[in-house]
Structure 1
Amino acid sequence: MKPSTAVTNQKHSLVYPALLSKVAEAFENRIVTGERNKNSLTYTKAFTGAEAVDALAHIIKTSDRNLALLLGRALDAQKFIHDVTYDHRLRDTHNEVYQFRERTFDEDASTTGVNGVFTLLSECYSPTCSRDRLCYSIACPRRLEQQARLMLKIQPGLKRNESRSSIHAEETEKKLWIYSVPKDVADSVSDKERKRQEVICEFMYTERDFVKDLEYLRDCWMKPLRRGSIIAEHRREKFIRAVFANILDIHAVNVKLAEALTKRQQQNPVVREVGDIIIEYAKKFEPYIQYGANQVYGKYEFEREKASNPLFAKFVDETERLKESRKLELNGYLTKPTSRLARYPLLLDAILKNTCADSPDQTNIPKAIEIVRGFLTRLNAETGKAENRFNLLQLNQSLVFRPGEHFDLKLTEENRQLIFKGFLKKRMQDAQADIQAFLFDHSLLFVRVKNVNKREQLKVHRKPVPLELLVISQYENATSRLALAKRPSTSLIHAGRSAQGSKIETSNTKYPLSFVHLGRRGYELTLYAPTFVSQKKWMEHIEAQQKKLRERSGVYAKHILSASFFDSQERVNCAIPFDGSRKLLYGTDHGIFWSEMRVKPGTIAQKPTKILAMTNVSQIELLEEYGMMLVLADKTLYSFPLDAVLEATIGLSVHDMAALSRRAKKVVGHINFFRAGICLGQLFVCTVKSGSMTSTVRVWEPADHLNKGKKQPALKKLLQNQSETLKLYKEFYIPADTMSISFLKSMLCMGCSKGFEIVSLETLETQSLLDPADTSLDFVIRRETLKPLAIYRLNGDFLLNYTDFSFFVNRNGWRTRSDWIINWEGLPQAFSLCYPYILAFEPNFVEIRHAETGSLVQIIAGENIRFLHDKTRFLHDQTREILYAYEDENGKDVVASLDFWETGQHQHQNLQQQYPSPQQSKHQQL
């Protein structure tokens, strides 16, 4: 005979189901907690009764929900879980909400605090006993299991009963309105009015009971603790305030409310209205807000004192056994104020439903409900904030870092939030989850939970990951699929998402989560969720928070300028706007293309058109004042008449391409890069030929710089007749490999392997920008193989940007803002300043930071990112637009602009601060 599917299958159970400690541990790892609502109150880290039974049934592999419920009640009996109002045992329903018992940090973190054997699921000792053929013993666990399930099915106790505030079921009937008034009065009203009076009566007697509950706390707990020596005198009052908060302020309001209701009831056995009384006292419910916000602290202090103070533990046990306690533990009473506030709208709704149209309550009760719900909304908000602050404070205190490591997670900052947490396995086959992950609103933290001297410690397992730098996938090895994840055209979170939702869960099913920390100090960590639901929750929570961060920190407007045209055979290396920023020139591996810079909404963007065939175009620069375009191709610098370029974009013929090619004039060959800018009041072009030991720098000026500003036709004719477009101004050498050039007031700033070198264009005298006398700069001066790439002036200081870090110095080369430094997450290959933001471009992401605070603002992830162009070099340029390129999911180049002008035009005036005023010394002349 086949065994029934309703019984447990111990061979396939996740744990041995008879050992409650193992069941409790598996249950805690499996259940997905979160926010749950009951009677308009929001409870965090909670779950419903039905969810609990679902989890237990899965753990012991049974389809018999009654059996799983019995097992859950065995955990409930040991206070492992509890109803949020402490009113009843576990129920298999979505309407009841439960939480885990509060545990202090002093408790053994390696155990659940649950012990015992659930005999119904233990194995019978008789070798001949089986589920199909039971043995003779009346104590056989399998026989008891069957009997228990049979009894459970026929007992009415599993039905959901409305909990009464502090009222025993047997006392309830005596308090019904129909039994509290003469029979002739009860018979004189309609059925609808009788129902109304019953609810009003319930409202009144439960209000009186609530007041008695508060007085029980005052008389049986607060007063004895104040009078006795159970708690040391120096912290006695602090403890009472922590646990009981302002509960006496609530009593002061509600005792008057109860008196007013009782007086109204005594005036007439048929109460005509109560709304006016509720409105009067509901306006005074402010103490509930403070009490609710303090509850999490109060419960923690209570549990901690009970665990560490034997005298107090004895007092708790004795007091909870008193007749006045009605077998309800203290936590059950401490939740009554908030649950009472949540019950008011339910009772008032029931009264209103049975109120006749001409009653004043038809107007007053909705007003009262609105007032109370306003307090409930505030209570939920303040309770959530307080619980979040408390959890973060406790977490912050328990973190332990490796020797020499420390990461400031800023957990105590205002508005910091813990979004989600859970246990994950380091290896899929592990029986225990050994890594706990915490998702904050700004980062992700991995810790190992350790028990040291019976005190929980959270040892930081890996460096916390800023959410902007996090890529997550459902693959065991995400590195090979990281290219997909980085592409801006798809959400990071969806990288590698598979159709696991359709899988049937088994004990051998893998639910991997691969976390990739982008950047030079990044890493990849693959962990395993215990269930598919848990895996999905992690993905959803991280996705939602990353989306919030992007929306919150959006400091630019992004525009796609070209897509699905250029590919790996025609890679975009540079781009520049021209013709009044109406058109865009692209420099590629095989030539120069152009397209419209912007298209009207709803129209199809024009595909780029080739106007010039050249090899390896790496730079394009426009000298519009001189009607000149400079192009670096195959390490040779060429100049072109700008009018011929414009004509080529109009003619669009092979003849025009050939004509433009013939107009090219070679300026200089064998150079690595060039840079144009203004120094000494005029425009120069610097070309750099770099070697491993030395660099040759040539400074060029337009051949006809005296004609700058003349009308274009005359200039055009003059340029056409000239044999040269640029003439050599000066030439000098740098004894190092040069990587960048910046134009200052009267000097050039050369970024080379030795650091930033300042060169006077008048005398060609060279000196280091950094003063070696400043020992705080030793981390730079004494370091080799640095790559200085950009320098900007901000508020009188100079922001120096290297591939590793950025910091400030003054005009004398001494460090300023000593506590300010940016350690770049990636390996930037280019920088751009759009005050107040500094952007660092590396192949995998763009890092946007605040130039004044250094804080990370946003990350733009992508594949094969290349900085193309910005227009912040010249004083007259007003645009704050940056052009860059990246690959889409098909390997095609996307050219996009980041427009900071649209997000803050008023900030543009600060951009001019990078241009200094005349000074006296050589350093001051920067």
Structure 2
Amino acid sequence: MVAKDDPIHLMIRRATSTCSVDEPSPRGRGARRELEVQEPSTKRVKPLSRVTSLASLIPPVKAAPLKRIGQTLQRSISFRSDCRPEIMAPRQIPPAVTKRRDSKLWSETFDLGLGHMLSSKDIKRQESIFELSQGEQDLIEDLKLAKKAYRDPMLKLSIMTEHELNQIFGTLDSLIPLHEDLLSRLREARKPDGSTDRVGHILVDWLPCLDTYNSYCSNQVAAKALLDHKKQDPRVQDFLQRCLESPFSRKLDLWSFLDVPRSRLVKYPLLLREILKHTPNAHPDQQHLEEAINMIQSIVADINTQTGESECRFYKERLLYLESGQKDLLIDSSRILSCHGELKNNRGAKLHVFLFQDVLVITRAVTQNEQLWYQLYRQPIPVRELEWEDLQDGEMRLGGSIRGAFSNHERTKNFFRVVFRSGGQLQSHSFQASDAFNKQQWLNCIRQAKEAVGCAGARRCAPPRGCLDCSMMDTTEASLGLSTERPQT
């Protein structure tokens, strides 16, 4: 209960006296009339339209409950008057400002008057060395952000289990001290005037540490698959969306941060070549830089090989066979996955096609036990027996009855055909790529796969009469008894 002498009560009482709702008592009328006769007021009364609510008259208070009461009053209480109160515009919440990472140049960072002493080539060399150092700092910040803003909160809030987070983030923690070490060495090599004479010997000594990337990059295929699967969980999706909308994310999703190390790894050869490009022939750093470039190229090639083998194993383990006859020793012996992705047949059915080193496997992406799998759609095709044909736009028949010339041209674009012999009968599959570039990539991969297995060049084919197009033998999705889902490529 509020005392009548309370300041808030007095302010409300004064406000209500200007526009009273209740009929005043005779005593009150007399007192007021007597006051008006004795002291005629010359003070201008504030129009009622200027007063929006009682809450605007209440002084701010620190207590949270009173703040909520004030907000309630402002929304619900108003005076009855012939003049309408002024309507306040709703409060606009400014959007969060996205943090942008500034691009820094050596010449802008170290304003030490060296410009008149260095040639244009020397300045470019310093810029390249500084870019290497600045890139290490940016990488470290991103790795720490991934751990602090994503992994730790999701573990603390039980959004994912520790085992799931370990699978998704892999050995990310071990990469942070690795790059902190390189950054520290580069900064120690920088002279007080901001310039750096030599970095080659630092890199030759440090690059072998990148073997740590083998396990991180090899885990990325399984990590991406698990992350995509966990996004189906509303709690995970909500958390990741909130992070994406926050300024710290720079509009990048979680996977962008997890893929930063791999992107940095493949950039090292370019960075070192750029430094070497601006290094004079007689410079003592030249020999070490050439050695470092050879080292990083060999390291990247080795990691690519191991990552490719890991990816190949992952997808082989995700294949589902409808019958034992579909199993093929060529699949089991494959160590390289040349390419894979979603293609459509001429009936519009989505297929996921894998081109291993020795065999082409056509599957349907299916969901089973809340996991994405790939169910074999037709018998695997040995690459050695595979022939291909690049179909011109509009040449493909759709649905087995309508000619391309009488159908929508967009539906008959970017088709190619693969043909092979099975049981004495030629069979073919017609595939539609998403665009012309994707189609050309598939044809290039098929050509290279055939060359790798010893064929004297890839042969173009034209299926003879009676050739059975397997895409015309499409079974319905319902007959498989499994739900389909668009795969991630």
CA distance in 2, matches of 1:215, 1:509: 46
Correspondence list, 1:572-583, <5 A? none
**1:365 alignment partner, one of 289, 307, 314:** 289
Other structure's SS at 1:188 match: coil
Q: 1:230 to 1:549 in 2, by over 3 A?
A: same
Given residue 136 of structure 2, which amino acid in structure 1 is its aligned partner? E
CA distance in 2, matches of 1:510, 1:218: 43
* Conserved? CA contact 1:426–1:526, under 8 Å: no
Q: Does 1:179 align with 2:108?
A: yes
**1:464 alignment partner, one of 375, 380, 397:** 380
* Conserved? CA contact 2:170–2:219, under 8 Å: yes
Q: 1:446 to 1:415 in 2, by over 3 A?
A: closer
Q: Structure 1 residue 541: deviation in Å?
A: 5.3
The C-alpha deviation readout for 1:593-621, integer Å capped at 9, x for no partner, is xxxxxxxxxxxxxxxxxxxxxxxxxxxxx
* Conserved? CA contact 2:334–2:357, under 8 Å: no
**2:431 alignment partner, one of 529, 548, 551:** 529
TM-score (norm 1): 0.33
Q: Structure 1 residue 535: deviation in Å?
A: 7.9
Other structure's SS at 1:529 match: strand
Q: Which residue of 2 aligns with 1:352?
A: 276
Q: Does 1:280 align with 2:209?
A: no
**1:211 alignment partner, one of 140, 151, 165:** 140
Q: Which residue of 1 aligns with 2:422?
A: 518
Higher strand share: 1
* Conserved? CA contact 1:422–1:438, under 8 Å: yes
* Conserved? CA contact 1:424–1:529, under 8 Å: yes
Q: Structure 1 residue 423: deviation in Å?
A: 6.1
Given residue 317 of structure 1, which amino acid in structure 2 is its aligned partner? Q
TM-score (norm 2): 0.59
The C-alpha deviation readout for 1:30-57, integer Å capped at 9, x for no partner, is xxxxxxxxxxxxxxxxxxxxxxxxxxxx
Q: 1:211 to 1:266 in 2, by over 3 A?
A: farther
Given residue 409 of structure 1, which amino acid in structure 2 is its aligned partner? D
Q: Which residue of 2 aligns with 1:194?
A: 123
Other structure's SS at 2:380 match: strand
Given residue 292 of structure 2, which amino acid in structure 1 is its aligned partner? A
Higher helix share: 2
- List runs of 5+ in structure 1 lacking aligned partners: 1-166, 476-504, 553-926
Q: Does 1:300 align with 2:202?
A: no
CA distance in 1, matches of 2:115, 2:219: 44
Q: Structure 1 residue 202: deviation in Å?
A: 2.0
* Conserved? CA contact 1:514–1:524, under 8 Å: no
Q: Structure 1 residue 470: deviation in Å?
A: 5.8
CA distance in 2, matches of 1:223, 1:451: 30
Q: Structure 1 residue 445: deviation in Å?
A: 3.7
Given residue 291 of structure 2, which amino acid in structure 1 is its aligned partner? K
CA distance in 1, matches of 2:152, 2:341: 41
Other structure's SS at 2:252 match: coil
CA distance in 2, matches of 1:509, 1:340: 37
Q: Structure 1 residue 226: deviation in Å?
A: 3.8
Correspondence list, 1:320-399, <5 A? 320-394=244-318, 396=319, 399=320
Other structure's SS at 1:284 match: helix
Other structure's SS at 2:432 match: coil
Q: 1:179 to 1:366 in 2, by over 3 A?
A: same
Correspondence list, 1:718-733, <5 A? none
CA distance in 2, matches of 1:340, 1:206: 8
Given residue 268 of structure 2, which amino acid in structure 1 is its aligned partner? Y
Other structure's SS at 1:413 match: helix
Q: Does 1:265 align with 2:199?
A: no
Q: Structure 1 residue 292: deviation in Å?
A: 1.5
Q: 1:360 to 1:389 in 2, by over 3 A?
A: same
Other structure's SS at 1:189 match: coil
* Conserved? CA contact 2:125–2:275, under 8 Å: yes
CA distance in 2, matches of 1:547, 1:193: 46
Given residue 300 of structure 1, which amino acid in structure 2 is its aligned partner? A
- Identity, in percent, stands at 25
Q: Structure 1 residue 302: deviation in Å?
A: 1.5
* Conserved? CA contact 2:330–2:358, under 8 Å: no
Correspondence list, 1:878-893, <5 A? none
* Conserved? CA contact 1:470–1:518, under 8 Å: no
**2:327 alignment partner, one of 396, 408, 416:** 408
Q: Which moved more, 1:543-552 or 1:199-208?
A: 543-552
* Conserved? CA contact 2:345–2:431, under 8 Å: no
Q: Structure 1 residue 436: deviation in Å?
A: 5.0
* Conserved? CA contact 1:243–1:302, under 8 Å: yes
* Conserved? CA contact 1:444–1:467, under 8 Å: yes
Q: Which residue of 2 aligns with 1:58?
A: none
Correspondence list, 1:740-759, <5 A? none
Q: Does 1:256 align with 2:181?
A: yes
Given residue 378 of structure 1, which amino acid in structure 2 is its aligned partner? D
CA distance in 2, matches of 1:231, 1:455: 16
* Conserved? CA contact 1:435–1:447, under 8 Å: yes
* Conserved? CA contact 1:471–1:518, under 8 Å: no
* Conserved? CA contact 1:425–1:527, under 8 Å: no
* Conserved? CA contact 1:289–1:382, under 8 Å: yes
CA distance in 1, matches of 2:239, 2:345: 44
Given residue 287 of structure 2, which amino acid in structure 1 is its aligned partner? T
- List runs of 5+ in structure 2 lacking aligned partners: 1-98, 392-408, 457-489
CA distance in 1, matches of 2:297, 2:172: 20
CA-based RMSD of the aligned residues comes to: 3.8
CA distance in 1, matches of 2:237, 2:413: 45
Q: 1:168 to 1:360 in 2, by over 3 A?
A: farther
The C-alpha deviation readout for 1:574-604, integer Å capped at 9, x for no partner, is xxxxxxxxxxxxxxxxxxxxxxxxxxxxxxx
Q: 1:200 to 1:433 in 2, by over 3 A?
A: same
Given residue 530 of structure 1, which amino acid in structure 2 is its aligned partner? Q
* Conserved? CA contact 1:425–1:530, under 8 Å: yes
* Conserved? CA contact 2:245–2:251, under 8 Å: yes
Given residue 517 of structure 1, which amino acid in structure 2 is its aligned partner? R
* Conserved? CA contact 1:471–1:517, under 8 Å: no
Q: Structure 1 residue 201: deviation in Å?
A: 1.9
* Conserved? CA contact 1:393–1:411, under 8 Å: no
Q: 1:359 to 1:313 in 2, by over 3 A?
A: same
CA distance in 2, matches of 1:221, 1:337: 16
CA distance in 2, matches of 1:463, 1:448: 13
CA distance in 2, matches of 1:507, 1:349: 45
Correspondence list, 1:349-748, <5 A? 349-394=273-318, 396=319, 399-401=320-322, 406-410=325-329, 413=332, 415-421=334-340, 427=346, 430=347, 432-433=348-349, 437-448=353-364, 458-467=374-383, 513=417, 515-519=419-423, 523-530=425-432, 545=449, 548-549=452-453
Give the number of the structure with larger relative contact order, counting CA–CA contacts within 8 Å between residues 6 or more apart. Answer: 2
Q: 1:302 to 1:410 in 2, by over 3 A?
A: farther
CA distance in 2, matches of 1:551, 1:336: 39
* Conserved? CA contact 2:343–2:431, under 8 Å: yes
Q: Structure 1 residue 258: deviation in Å?
A: 0.8
Q: Which residue of 1 aligns with 2:465?
A: none
